[in-house]
Amino acid sequence: MAKIGVIGDAQSVLGFKAFGLDVFACTTVEEAVHALRRIAGEDYGIIYITERFCKDMQDEIDKYRELKTPAIIPIPGVDGSYGIGIEGVRSAEVRAVGADILFGGDN
């Protein structure tokens, strides 16, 4: 069975340990990129990354976009949402449907 990992600052991700997820607490974007590279090659089906780090490592995340696994999913951290997760859903919707029918944008 594939594992689930969570990458982010300690305050945002440590609670996920209580649910049995593997947690990778990072203090810098460089540490988050290193953690992603390391666990992406292991048996992880889903990797959650806090939006705080996602915004500065999008090029690295894009390398995994076309792969079946791992699915990399942005999540808000303790500092709130940057809107990256919602933008990803909107972008996927526009690619699949050809229009922004969920959020009412002009595409």
> What does pTM read for this prediction?
0.81
To which H or E segment does residue 74 belong?
strand 71-75
Is the pLDDT score of 101 beyond 80?
A: no
Pick left, alpha or beta for residue 42 (phi over 0 → left; psi -120 to 50 → alpha; otherwise beta): beta
Predicted confidence (pLDDT) per residue in 21-79, tens digit? 999 999 999 999 999 999 998 999 999 999 999 999 999 999 998 888 899 999 998 88
- Helix and strand numbers, DSSP H then E, in the chain: 5, 4
